[in-house]
């Protein structure tokens, strides 16, 4: 019984190790691409935040004044 669980543990560890290798290989080529994207991300974020910006302005007349 004890031997069987030890075997299972080993198999589990082996699977985890093999599985662990796969994302490492995928991640490696991704890194240089991320750096290039940084320039564009900002503009996209501003576009994405437009609704939140309007909510923030409308919810806080004490901070931003009343609409014109």
Partner 1 sequence: MTRNMKLILGAIALAGALAAAPALAQDSAISQARAAGVIGEQADGYIGVRPGQTASADLRARVDQLNIRRRAEYTTRAERNNATPNEMAASIVCVLFRERLREGEYYRDEAGQWREVTASAPAAVPSWCPAS
Q: In the complex, which residues of this chain contact partner 1 (CB under 8 A)?
A: 42-43, 45-50, 52-54, 56-57, 60-68
Instruction: Give 8-59 as a DSSP string.
Output: HHHHHHHHHHHHHHHHHHHHHHHHHHHHHHHHHHHHHHHHHTHHHHHHHHHH
Cβ distance to partner 1 smaller for residue 33 or 45: 45
Least Å distance, CB 34 to partner 1, is 15
For partner 1, the closer of residues 30 and 50 by Cβ is 50
CA–CA gap between residue 15 and residue 22 (Å, rounded): 11
Least spacing, CB of residue 62 vs partner 1, in Å: 5
């Amino acid at each position: 019984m004890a031997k069987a669980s030890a075997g299972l543990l080993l198999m589990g560890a082996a699977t985890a190790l093999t599985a662990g290798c796969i994302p490492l290989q995928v991640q490696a080529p991704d890194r240089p691409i991320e750096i290039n994207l940084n320039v564009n991300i900002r503009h996209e974020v501003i576009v994405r935040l437009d609704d939140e910006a309007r909510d923030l302005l409308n919810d806080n007349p004490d901070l931003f004044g009343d609409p014109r």
